[in-house]
Structures are given as structure tokens and as C-alpha cells.
Structure 1
Amino acid sequence: MVNRFRSDLQVCSFCKRTQEEVNRLIAGPDQVFICDECVDLCRDILEEDSPSPITPELHLNRLPSPKEIYEKLNEWVVGQDRAKKVLSVAVYNHYKRINRRIHHSDDAVELQKSNIMLIGPTGCGKTLLAQTLARVLDVPFCIADATALTEAGYVGEDVENILLRLIQAADYDVQRAEQGIIYIDEIDKVARKTGDSPSITRD
């Protein structure tokens, strides 16, 4: 029988088990000890108390349906019913693709990324719709001006700066930024017409 009162016997300061009753006993300052089982218990308690990080997989599992997205858009945007319905379905399908890519990373099927083009006169609510979608889905959002955007970055704003702004909008959480929305405005102003001479100032 083990003598628990031996002066040379080390015991865990938390559960009072001896070094002979546990796998490992870790020594601290001032003759304080903790056993491996108490360490595991403390880790479990801390994991339960700490908030769960927002990951793309967890976020996409609570993706609202097209009907729910449409109803949320109605709370913020008046009119443009057809645009709101089309956007609700398109955005839902887009994030379903992302969800499939996460859960089926070893799948041989390759799904292309999707983009949405909003066309309409100034002031009809294109930017508001995009901003509201980001709010409804709780994803980062940033706006880029196509007239200041260049491919190489020699003139105007570099493409990488747009990505940086999206990451900043996600509080530097890269995983959240991967789900974010980049809204490129005024893209029609940089569209080239057939027969136009190439520009030497913009890409």
C-alpha cells in the first residue's frame, strides 16, 4: 500500500493523486505539481468556454434559403423585385458551390467560380443590393472602382490592394475573406469598343 504521507512522495496539487497513480506529474514553482489527467481536464474546460472560431464550413452550414435572402432584401431595398429574386437564387447557388468544395475536396468534379453582373442606370440600387447581400449573409464586403483598377498595378490601384481591403473588412481573418464579396463598380466605363486603339496608360 502506498503511503500518501511520505515526505518524498510528490502528489498533484489539484486532484491529490500521487506520482505512482498517474502517467506523468509536471512540476511547477514552489513545489506545485499537476498530473496529465488534470491537464487534459483543464484543456477540455477551456475549449468549452472559449468561443468557436468562425470558419467557412460552420458559416455555410447556416446559409439562408433563397426565400429567406429575398425576404431580408425586402427589409432594406424597396422595389427591384425581379433583381432581388434573381440575386437570391444566384447567391444561394454560389455559396452552395463553396460548401461542396469544402466538404468534397477530394471530388473529381471541378466547379467553376461564379460572378454576378448587375446592370442598370445610376441610382437604381445596384450597390445597395450588393451591400445588403453581404449584410444578410454576414460576409466581408468591399467596393472597388474599375476606373482606378489596373491589372499590372503601374497606373491606378493594384488588384492586390482590393484583396487587402477585403481582408481588412474581415478583420484580417483570411478564411472569412475567402467568403467575402468584392463589388467592382463603374466597370462599363473601362469596357473597350471594337476598333478602339489600345490604351498605353491602363491595362
Structure 2
Amino acid sequence: MVNRLIRKARLFIWKKNRAKIDERDRKRLTEKIKTTSIISMNCTGGIISHNLGLQFLSPTVNLYMNAEDFIKFCENLSFYIGIDKFEICTDENVIGDRTYPIAYLGDLTLYLVHYSSVEEAEKKWNERKRRMNWKNIAIFNTDREGMTGELKDRFEKLPYRKVMFVNKPDEKHASCYYLQGFENEDCVGIITDSVGWKGMRPIDQFDYVNFLDGKD
């Protein structure tokens, strides 16, 4: 009972402090940031957009892909974003114990974590992809979901502004950004989860406002 009350109090205070951080960051927004299409491997891009009060200018919101599919997606953005129809996944080997819908985008698998149906996800995908700003793209990636050295090599070759969050320093790959706190894990955890009482999250080790503005 006491622990539950402490957790509730911590979350309440964390949200209050988070709101102040987001308000501060929104004052740093530039026109470049406001017109950036964020391509994200998982929910990170959508959460950042929400925190900054940005419109979703890409369809990769509320879903995730495995590492190999995401790299392939980024290597062939215009092709995959040009696909209008999702195919419902009924393969029990893929579904496993997941309770959210799963769909195929061509030969890629989309895990639709925050959608109630494939139809809903498909509708949102098509709405948001029409807003793509092909002249201003930024990619957020992580070392989760089966990331390998070979996939990191391919990621480095992508012709976009990009960052990959990793659990250990990686001097070989210039786009990798080491987030502290996951060294004893196989990869980073959920980098948008709350930490402590001050409104912080693991991703806040990285200045994503500067990144979206095209700065180092």
C-alpha cells in the first residue's frame, strides 16, 4: 500500500516536472523542426513529437518494426511509404502471446502496439504519409529488436539525418549515441520511460531538439 502511494506520488510529480521541460523545449522550436518528418523504429518519434507539440509528419507512429525490417524500410522509404494497403498477419508463430494487431507492409512486419485494429492503423498510416516532407527527414533508431553490426553499417549509409541509441559506446558507427544506464543489458530499454522524480527519461541524455534542428 505504501509503495503504491509512493509510486503514484512519484508519477504525479514526474509529470509536473516533465510538463515544465516540454514547455521549455517548445520555446526552442524552429521552422526547421516544425517541418521535420520523423521516421522512427518504434514509439520514440511519436512521443517526442507529442512532447514538442509537433504534427505527425510521417506514418511511423504508435508501432514498431524489428531492426532488419526498419533498416530495409529506411533504405527504400519512397517504395514502402507508397504502399497503401496493410495485410493482416494471422501467423501464430509471429503473433505469439501479443494482444495487439500485426500487419504486413509488403514484405515488412508492422507491430501495431497502440492500435485497436489493422484497419485503424492503415487509415492513420495513409493520412500521415501524405504529410511527409521529403526534403526534411530525421531518423530515430535503437539497438533493440535484433540490431547487429552489419545492420549498423547499413544504417550509416542512409542519406538522412539519423541517430541510433545504443547501450554501450560504439566508436565504429558515427550515428550511434550511447545512453547510459543499460550497460548490463543486451540493448537499450524503453528510452522514453520515466526515471526518478525530475521529469527525466533516458533519451533526455540526448539533445533531440538540437538534432531535429540539424545541429550536432
TM-score range, shorter-chain basis? under 0.3
Q: Which has the larger radius of gyration?
A: 1
Normalised to the residue count of structure 1, the TM-score between the two structures is: 0.23
Normalised to the residue count of structure 2, the TM-score between the two structures is: 0.22
1 or 2 for the larger relative contact order (CA 8 Å, sep ≥6)? 2
